[in-house]
Structure 1
Amino acid sequence: MPFAPIAPIRSIADIRRLEETPLAEAVTVRSTYEIFAESARAFEDKIALTFLRTGDPHDAPIRWSYCRLFEDITRTANLLHALGVGPGDAVAALLPGCLEYHLVLWGGEAAGIVQPLNPLLSLDKLTELLRAADAKILIAYGAEEDAGYWSKAMALRDAVNGLKVLRVAPHDEAVPPHHGGDGDFQALLEGQPADRLVSGRQIAPDDIAAYFHTGGTTGAPKLAMHSHANQVFTAWASVQLMGLTPQDVSINGYPLFHVAGVLPGALTALSAGVETIIPTTALFRSQQVRANYWRLVEKYRSTSLSAVPTVLAALANVPVGDADIASIRYCRTGAAILPPELAERFETLYGLHVHEALGMTEMAGISSIRPPGVHAPAGCVGFPIPYARTRIVALDADGGPSDRDLSPGRHGMILFKAPNVFPGFLDPEATKKAFTADGWLATGDVGWMDDEGRLNLTGRSKDLIIRSGHNIDPKVIEDALGSHPAVQLCAAVGAPDAYAGELPVAFAVLMPGVEVTQEELLDWTSTRVDEPPARPKSVSIIPTMPMTNVGKIFKPELRRMAVENIVRDMLAEAGVKGAAVEVILSANGKLSAAVALPAGVNAEMKDAVAARLEPLPVPVDIAQQA
């Protein structure tokens, strides 16, 4: 049967009651393909996927039933089998938000191993990923849109020996152009059987289902392997904690190359009979979708709102007007820590309490969830999923996990063992670094358990910059900036941002006697960083680099300097001159700022400055000079 919530989850005791049933009895599904087979049998003509052609609520959507979806997943698996794809072969996807993405994902897993690709990566990075996976087939979107899908696909076909490229026609295409690929995906599906897997494959739970690239996508490619059992368990556990039923409707605006959109988003919903709405090919990047979001909620009676904090911040600027959004029963976010002021704003504006979740690629997308009805401060990511074992351990001298467990309330690195912990990366050396010596997954997240058994996040143990859920390796920026002949020493950190969480900024010490402008360094660096989100917003030239006693760059001081720069820039934008700014770095690493405005600043200007600085995720005290 499809997955269904056994009982509402409101406490850790409810989780423990679920665990009283042995895992083998609780989750009997063996593969993602079996999930879709069960959903088709149970829900038949019920709508599974609704694709919005535009963000206009008045436009007619394209809708697929659960039966149609399963039949076309089967056809896709059979097409790939006919093209020589076996259980150990990779099928890559370079697609925007579209109905066909679901055929490639789940049909790819039924035939072989699916490899979703981030279309914003450079050609060199995409080539490296395809070669690492030894991909046989690339299924790509047959239009350019904002990511140059088809141009990249053709370049990849030339760069990767033996790669075949199938073209997915846009939904509004009238006449297919001569495209130079190896076939038209939709046309090739038409002749394939829809009632069985021609291969006769019996998919085992331990079979590898997918390769997701991780490591921030800005560092060296690391391909994380997911088994079918990993992904099936994520869907089951997410249904339990989120309480999903066939009466639910979800707008899934997460990109489907990202684990959040694929597993706790799409697979979870489709395993429980939920109608999933795809808000145009651009998803939440569509300005029209964001502008009409509350109208779309009203039209489709969406019961949940799930988005990264930056999208929530954008939606917080969209008036509800007279739209009826009472259908929303659950608002959830993840991928980055939720700024408290954004959580408060959402509750004030819309009466929606934002629930947080923790997920990572190495745990097939989900580690803990704050269920509906469980209200907590921002930073609380809820209960660890059922059958998971969780430890909070002290950090060692290098910022890694020690073997010393910490009691509730104390902050340390979060470790997991769970049914959805991945088997590892394709690179064995990367796998070794992901686990402790005794087999616990080292998340790199720092957090603590409260007295109610809920997990709370405080940050990262390393220096990753987290921008809107994108993990950015500062070394990528540092390598690019450090390659400039005028740079002697440099470092990159995350500067606090009201809506992105963090933005990358860099600092540089120049070679003696050399002159170069900050603008030249910024341009140099930006052209050498592949992924746009990782390109620094600024490069500051400083006389000396702050160091620790053992000669390491002291990045907390750079973050303090970054906050000072931000506050000064915001004051300048507000037209305030002569203000005194002091940013303080406390012993526990917390930052706070104090601004003393000139005596001549009137009350109206002071209020305007306060309003401008208030969204910063750093407390700012504003006073006036005597």
Structure 2
Amino acid sequence: MSDELLWPRCAGPDDLAAIEAVPLADRGLPESTYALLRRAARAWPDRPATTVLPSAARWREPEGRTFADLLAEVHRCANLLRASGIGRTDAVALMSPNCAELVPATLGAQLAGIAAPLNAGLSRAHLTQLLRLSGARVLVTAGPELAPEVWETARALADELDVLLVLRPTGATGEPPALPALDGVRVGYLHDLAADHGADGFDGAPPAAGDLASLFHTGGTTGTPKLAAHTHANEVSDAWMIAVNSLLDDTATVFAALPLFHVNALVVTLLAPLFKGQHAVWAGPLGYREPALYGEFWKIVEHHRIAAMSAVPTVYAVLTHCPVDADISCLRYAMVGASPLPAAVREGFQAHTGVTLVEGYGLTEATCASARSFPDAPRAGAVGQRLPYQRVKVVHPVTGEDLPPGETGVLAISGPTVFPGYVVGRDGAGPVLDGLGTLDGGWLDTGDLARLDADGFVHLTGRAKDLIIRGGHNIDPATIEDALLAHPEVTAASAVGRPDEHAGEVPVAYVTLVPGAAATGADLVAWAGDRVPERAAAPKAVTVLDALPITDIGKPYKLALRADATRRALAEVLDPLGGVTMDAVVEDGAVVATARLAPEADEAAVTAALGRFAVPVRVEVTHPADQP
């Protein structure tokens, strides 16, 4: 493939039309993630590919691999997996914090079969369900030295497994701890078992573009997270769309600290650098969750000449308060996504460091990234322009009709990165996909509210399901959140609907504050009331929390706040009646309230009061015999 075809100019928003004048099929992208790695190893065998830090405290003692080293280790891992019974349509589960061995294990799983990364922070019940849904009988997991809690979880899942391959910490030396015998399960250290297999090539047939490469779980904390399937073509094309960025050449070094069970870590900081032979420096097993990292961060940037990094807004909020104690002139830009970027965080970080924050947008069902911004062409309020060869449009949330630029509706995406579906089972041919999640004609319904400007930049305004509907009037929670985030003491804000007997629901908000803040909920109600664009959107209450709830995969979790708002609203109405305890929980994606009545409570009056709300409510009466 020629460099001219593979690397068109992509430095600003005006380059998109010229890029797409050449069909994507003519650009000669590698067929699979394995073919991408092989290409890198042939082109730059002795160039550093990955450098993994054991921890923040030991960042000067990293473990490094060249591209040739990485390919050889991927071959060993894949050949071990193949010898363990893994075929092209078999899933390999991986459950471990980041470490040097996890990178080749993940790529080896995609070469031999299908990688199925797991977040060890999920409940054991969810992990069991995900293993069964994927069909994985082989688990690559952190051992007792690397992450004792993860190791104990892995042992608890042994009944679901045939093979347990154990990882050691980055830079581990000496004899590892002896591993226990588990009935019916082959248990061993991955490095030792893989050493008996060939490093020069893969013993099986390599994957094709349409073969499944990975299964990523996505979703909230209710029910089982869904498994989104990615093909090799999905991942390679999305990685190329990121790598085609003309601002970083092949000498650039990127920093990686997000966990490899997250698509951003795989696509942005592992696969995309393979295209240009860029060096990726990986943080220790806790990544951005390691407090000690922030005290060393700028020194790490200077030492490794980090040119780009990727993180969520909360990381940049913390870094804004870390003194810049090193030369960070090498850092060209910092990518941010996964949740809305408060203006105060953007302005604070850029003023503190001189580094531009570049927003992006994506979702697991579209592989990873679908829009990006340009450091030299900022667009206020936009998360970016669509990536080459992806299509975006905004449709009416009810009729589905296309909406013109400037109008808000549901964002839809089509193109080569849209996933083939969620896993719903398994048959003799491998995972069975539902093929859902798309609109007519292959368009993915993102569930995000957005508008497009005249130049095709995406402006997100919230989640369609998060709309607050007050008396039939739609209120975008983002307008309330933006008003609250403008307060100097507010660090995060989330607005939801609270049940109301007259209007159906009214807006309320939850916030977190800077340490030592003096602002009260009443202060913030007044502040927002003066700044929201319409009276109907003024929050009726603002509650201050230590932290806003997030899902098991780290995304904002408004359902929990809606449940709290429901409990508060109903408890307020029932309080004068006496003898009632209110609770509200999330069940199957919906808020369900429960009223627990003491024997002396007036059940008829309680039922009548609750009947004025459009909320599912259970009434439970405690009889004297039930008392302890």
Task: Give the TM bin, normalised by the shorter chain.
Answer: 0.7 to 0.9
Give the alignment's Cα RMSD to 1 decimal.
Answer: 3.2
| Aligned position for 2:200 | 195
For the residue of structure 2 that corresponds to 1:18, the secondary structure is helix
Secondary structure at the aligned position of 2:294 is classed as helix
Matches within 5 A, 1:386-397: 386-396=388-398
CA distance in 2, matches of 1:157, 1:314: 39
1:557 matched to 2:507? The reply is yes
Deviation string for 1:19-71 (max 9, x for gaps)?
A: 11121111431100000000000111100001112324772221110100011
Per-residue Cα deviation, 1:83-109 (whole angstroms, up to 9, x for no partner)? 010011110001111121111211101
What per-residue deviation string (whole Å, max 9, x for no partner) do you get for residues 276-327 of structure 1? 0111111111111112111111111101132110111111110103x10000
Give the aligned partner of residue 273 of structure 1: 277
Deviation sequence 1:387-421 (CA, Å, 0-9, x none): 1121111221xxxxx32212112211111111010
Partner of 1:87: 88
Superposed CA deviations along residues 463-485 of structure 1, whole A, max 9, x for unmatched, are: 399xxxxxxxxxxxxxxxxxxxx
1:374: how far off? 2.3
CA distance in structure 2 between the aligned counterparts of 1:24 and 1:577, rounded to whole angstroms: 56
Give me the whole-angstrom Cα distance separating, in 2, the residues matched to 1:89 and 1:461: 36
Residue 506 of structure 1 and its aligned partner are, at CA, apart by 11
User: 1:380 maps to what in 2?
Assistant: 382
Match of 1:482 in 2: none
Kept in 2, the 8 Å contact 1:260–1:359? The answer is no
After TM superposition, list the pairs within 5 Å mapping 1:456-475 onto structure 2. 456-463=459-466
Distance in structure 2 (CA, Å) of the matches to 1:380 and 1:575: 30
The aligned amino acid for 1:34 is A
Distance in 1 between residues matched to 2:502 and 2:158, nearest whole Å = 48
Confirm or deny that 1:174 pairs with 2:174.
Answer: yes
Distance of 1:192 and 1:2 partners within structure 2: 35
Alpha-carbon distance, 1:576 to partner = 8.1
Alignment check: 8 A CA contact 1:238 1:268 kept = yes
1:217, CA displacement in angstroms? Answer: 5.5
Alignment equivalent of 1:546, drawn from 483, 492, 500: 500
Matched residue of 1:303: which SS?
strand
The one-character-per-residue Cα deviations of 1:413-457 (angstroms, maximum 9, x if unpaired) are 111111010000012999465112343100011111122221121
State the 1:155 CA deviation. Answer: 0.4
SS at the partner of 1:268? helix
Change (3 A) 1:216 1:147: farther
The amino acid of 1:195's aligned partner reads D
Q: Where in structure 2 are the equivalents of 1:180-329 lying within 5 Å?
A: 180=180, 182-199=187-204, 201-216=205-220, 218-241=222-245, 243-321=247-325, 323-329=326-332
Corresponding residue for residue 417 of structure 1: 414
Asked if 2 retains the 8 angstrom alpha-carbon contact of 1:144 and 1:151, the reply is no
Q: Is it true that 1:442 corresponds to 2:439 in the alignment?
A: no
Give SS of 1:45's match: coil
Specify every segment of 5 or more residues in structure 1 that has no aligned partner in the other structure, as ranges. Answer: 397-401, 466-492, 508-544, 596-626
Do the aligned partners of 1:2 and 1:271 also contact (CA within 8 Å) in 2?
no
Asked if 2 retains the 8 angstrom alpha-carbon contact of 1:206 and 1:229, the reply is: yes
Distance 1:347 1:138, change over 3 A: same
Structure 1 residue 242: Cα displacement: 5.9
SS at match of 2:507: helix
The whole-number CA distance in structure 2 between the counterparts of 1:593 and 1:251 is: 43
Cα distance in structure 1, aligned partners of 2:467 and 2:177? 43
1:55-204 maps to which residues of 2 (within 5 A)?
55-56=56-57, 59-143=60-144, 148-158=149-159, 160=160, 162-171=161-170, 172-180=172-180, 182-199=187-204, 201-204=205-208
Aligned counterpart, 1:365:
368
CA change 1:49–1:412 in 2 (3 A) is: same
User: 2:400 — aligned with what?
Assistant: 403
Name the CA shift for 1:576/1:464 in 2 (closer, same or farther; >3 Å). Answer: closer
Contact 2:420–2:433 at 8 Å: present in 1 too?
no
Give the structure 1 partner of residue 423 of structure 2.
426
- Is 1:574 paired with 2:518? yes
Structure 2 unaligned runs (5+)? Answer: 182-186, 426-431, 469-480, 543-628
Q: Label 1:167 to 1:329 Cα distance change in 2 as closer, same or farther (>3 A).
A: same
**Contact map agreement 1:546 1:557 (CA 8 A) in 2:** no
Q: Structure 2: how far apart are the matches of 1:174 and 1:407?
A: 64
Shift, 1:116, TM fit? 0.4
In 1: Cα distance, 2:495 partner to 2:395 partner: 29
Distance 1:14 1:588, change over 3 A: farther
TM-score normalised to the size of structure 2?
0.75
8 Å contact kept, 1:410–1:448: yes
Aligned to 2:570: none
Q: Could you tell me how far apart the structure 1 residues matched to 2:44 and 2:409 are? A: 45
Letter of the aligned partner of 2:371 in structure 1? S
Asked if structure 2 preserves the Cα contact closer than 8 Å seen for 1:410 and 1:449, the reply is yes
**What is residue 399 of structure 1 aligned with on the other side?**
none
Aligned CA distance change for structure 1 residues 229 and 439 (closer, same or farther; 3 Å): same
